[in-house]
Structure formats: structure tokens, C-alpha cells
Amino acid sequence: MQEMHTPGMQNVVLASKSLADYAPVVGDDVIAEIEQLARPLQGARVIHISSTAYGGGVAEMLHTLIPLMRSAGLDAEWRVISGYDEFFSVTKSMHNALQGMALELTPAMRATYLHANVDNAVYFEDGFDYVIVHDPQPAPLRMLRAGDSGHWIWRCHIDLTAANPAYWAFLRPFVQMYDAAIFTMPSYVKKDLKIGKVAIVPPAIDPLSPKNAPMSVADTRRIVQLYGVNPEQPLLVQVSRFDPWKDPLGVIDVYRGVKREVPDVQLVMIGSMAHDDPEGMEYYQRTKDYAENDPNIHLLSNLDGIGNVEVNAFQSVATVVLQKSLREGFGLTVAEGLWKHKPVIGGNVGGIPLQIEDGKSGFLVNSIEECTDRALQLMHDPQLAHQMGVYGREEVRQKFLSTSNLRHYLRLFNDLSGTMADERHATVLSSHR
């Protein structure tokens, strides 16, 4: 997508996807259930609103979820808000503060945030049955469009458990204007949030996307070699934005600890530079400086031509996939690694324990030392690594694929409109008003 300096929102152009293509992966019964849930919703106008069309897990999920909604018979679209660098600097601070950073919220920051949202709200037209607003960046839209009809849902993708009180107090009145909110885990729901419904919906990966589709061994090896990585040598891989919460400097410390016992180990860190993340380049530089020109540390991004196919190749070749986050709303890269039959070592935070069963599909760790020990254990025990990979892939198939994500949304839509197709599924919803 091009840079956005015009007022209002821009439509995101989407590829088409067919639900039927997912049947061989998830089973006919899952597709049949989705079709049943979609029956009362045929032709419903649905719009998703977010801050960026690329970079990060939210955008990635929407590139699949919305085409699948269309395949199920809904009239779904996706728009991205406009905003200047100053606005995205404020929302990055907001993101960090809501995940626990002690940051100040100044009157100027509040004004910048609200001014950009007013600009977007002015150009937004009514007429949607379901409006899903993703994360804090466009959260005031419901208040600014209070007269609009339809069911409005706020989707929070971040971990609010340690939210900075000043930032949460500022955001909460906007969120409480919505009919429902979606969170990744029950523990992320703030106790003082008064809202009609809360749905708990874990994120999901697309098993047919270029990032997760099966790839031949020859192709994976050829791709990683293009970037100077030897597929014959042990390889640690972390795919994440260059961001303090992903602890890239700690990942380098883990690599150095492993290297003392496994001298030929390599580390690949892949990040995506997104236009709503002005800190990304700065933290990339800090990570690069910390790597001290080690030829076996490879820092890669979309600026190096790394796309979904390349990420697939590196995760598929990895000996161990890392997600050493210090805070993590969910961490789609955990599910991606597990889907490729890889053991994943993740920080014991946020949504990562939802995906990794400690000792079965990977390991949960609380320190650099623990992470180093577990990586060495997996490198010295290939059979354990293989068993974990097999177990982890099946867990993802059952719980964390795009079809599951779609199913959760359809249940919520039905519930909000009073057309619940199956009462058994109402347990994911609760009143918070």
C-alpha cells in the first residue's frame, strides 16, 4: 500500500480465498459448521478498520479472515485509517504503555490522537451491519460516529494485564461505547471495563498462505542459502518486529550462550518494518550494533526482500524457533513455527502459554539462561525436537487456524443480532456491562 496523506480511510485490496480449499486441512465437518453459522448472515455488510495493511500479525490475519468471510457469503471489506507520523508516534507510545511501560500521556499527545481520529471519522459513511475496529489506534471511531447503526466491536490484540493506568483511563471511555469487545485471553479483560459482551478469540494463522503452505526441502535450502545461511548447520530463528518487547538483544545473548557449546550455530532474526511503527528502524539499529558484526548473526527484514515465502523457508529450516518476548498479546510466529513441525521456545508471557504446552510442543522460559539451556537441550536431542514438532502441529490444526478465527467471529455476529445458530457456543461470551 502507498503512503496515506489524504483524509479518510483507504480500502485494502484483497485476494480471493475459498473455504472449500481449507477442507483438506481442517476437515469437512469444520467447513460445514462454518456454513451453518454463516447462513443467517448472508449478505451482511461487514467492515474491519485497522491502522496498517502490512507488517505485524493483525494485518496478516485480516488478509485471510476477510476473504474467508466473503467466501462464507458476507459482504466484507477492510479499510486502513490515515494518519501522519506524529499520530503513529503517539499510538506506538500508547501500545507500549498499554503493555506496561511507564510513559507520560501529555495533552498534546491526546490532541494528536483525537485529531487524527476525527479526520477519519468525518469521511466514514454509515450502512454497515458489523463494524470491527482493531486496537487502540482507531478506538474513538465509535464515539465519533455514535449515531451510526450496526453492531460495533472493538478487537484488542494486545496484553492489557499491566496497562499503564493513565493510558487505560484515557482509552476506556472510547471502548465502552462499543457493543462488544474481543480479547485474546480472559486475563486481558480489564476489571473496570463496562461493555455489553466480551468474546475470547485467539488469533490464527492461514495454513494455505505463502508463509505457512508446504514447501519442498530443496526450495527452503535454496532460499536460506541466498541470504548466506548454511542449512547444514544448527539454526535459531526468531521472526518478530524489532521491538523492545520482543527482546532482540536477549535473543543475541541466547545465541552467544548456545555458541559456547555449539560453535557453528547461526541466528536469523527477521523483522517487518511497518509504517505505524516508527521505533522499528531505531531498534533494528540497536540490535545490529549489539550483534557486533558477527557473521553468523543475520538480521533481515522486508527491506532485504524478505517476504512470506522467505519466512516460511527460514522457519522450516530452523533447528529451534524462538519467540523470546517479554510481553506478547499472542505471538502468531509461535503457531507458525509449530505448524512447521518445529519445537518453539517462547517467553512465558501473554498469549504464548496458550500455544506452547511446556515440555510437549516446546518450552516456556523466564530468562536468557533458561532459554539457552532449552535450546541446547533440543539441539542435543533431535528426537525430542521431532516429537515436539509433531505434537505442536496438531495443536495448531485444532485451535489456531484461520477457519477457527472465522468461526468465532460468525458466532459473535449471530449472538449480537440474536440469531445464535447453536447455544452451545454462547459460553465464549459474557456480559461486562
Question: Could you tell me which residues come within 8 angstroms of residue 17 by beta carbon, excluding any fewer than 6 positions away?
Answer: 64, 67, 68, 70, 71, 208
What is the band of 432 on the pLDDT scale with cuts at 50, 70, 90?
A: low
Distance CA 125, CA 267 (A): 48
With beta carbons less than 8 A apart as the criterion, state whether 344 and 362 touch.
yes
Which tens digits make up the pLDDT trace of 94-103?
Answer: 999 999 999 9
pLDDT higher than threshold 60 for residue 159: yes
pLDDT higher than threshold 80 for residue 2: no
Which tens digits make up the pLDDT trace of 381-416?
Answer: 999 999 999 999 999 999 999 999 999 999 999 999
Helix (H, G, I), strand (E, B) or coil at 230: coil
Q: What average pLDDT does range 29-55 have in this prediction?
A: 95
> DSSP secondary-structure letter at 348?
S
What is the band of 295 on the pLDDT scale with cuts at 50, 70, 90?
A: very high
Which tens digits make up the pLDDT trace of 249-281?
Answer: 999 999 999 999 999 999 999 998 766 566 788
Task: Please name the fold of domain 10-204+401-432.
Answer: Rossmann fold (3.40.50)
Q: What average pLDDT does range 83-102 have in this prediction?
A: 94
Q: What average pLDDT does range 195-209 have in this prediction?
A: 96
> DSSP secondary-structure letter at 429?
E
pLDDT higher than threshold 70 for residue 40: yes
Helix (H, G, I), strand (E, B) or coil at 75: strand
Q: What average pLDDT does range 324-338 have in this prediction?
A: 93
pLDDT value of residue 190: 97
pLDDT value of residue 51: 94
pLDDT value of residue 274: 66
Which tens digits make up the pLDDT trace of 314-326?
Answer: 999 999 999 999 9
Task: Please name the fold of domain 217-399.
Answer: Rossmann fold (3.40.50)
pLDDT value of residue 303: 86
pLDDT value of residue 1: 38
Grid cell listed for 250: 536477549
pLDDT value of residue 324: 97
pLDDT value of residue 309: 97
DSSP string, 110-170: HHHHHHHHHHHHHTPPP--SEEEEESSTTTTHHHHTTT--SEEEEE--S--TT--HHHHHH
Q: What average pLDDT does range 232-241 have in this prediction?
A: 96
pLDDT value of residue 192: 97
* Triad 107, 111, 117: Cα angle to 5°: 150
| Percent of the chain with pLDDT strictly greater than 90 | 85
pLDDT value of residue 6: 44
Kindly report which listed range (15-24, 118-127, 190-199, 290-299) carries the lowest average pLDDT score.
118-127
Q: What average pLDDT does range 59-81 have in this prediction?
A: 97
What is the band of 371 on the pLDDT scale with cuts at 50, 70, 90?
A: very high
Intrachain domains 10-204+401-432 and 217-399 with the same fold: yes
Q: Phi/psi at 323 (nearest 5 deg)?
A: -145, 75
pLDDT value of residue 427: 40
Domain parsing of the chain, residue ranges: 10-204+401-432, 217-399
On the 0-12 / 13-18 / 19+ scale of CB atoms within 10 A, 219 is middle
This model's pTM is above 0.85: yes
- Rg over alpha carbons for the chain, rounded to the nearest Å, is 21
What is the band of 426 on the pLDDT scale with cuts at 50, 70, 90?
A: very low
pLDDT value of residue 423: 43
User: CA 240: distance to chain centroid?
Assistant: 10
pLDDT value of residue 3: 39
Distance CA 95, CA 164 (A): 10
> Quick one: CA dihedral 244, 246, 249, 250, positive or negative?
positive
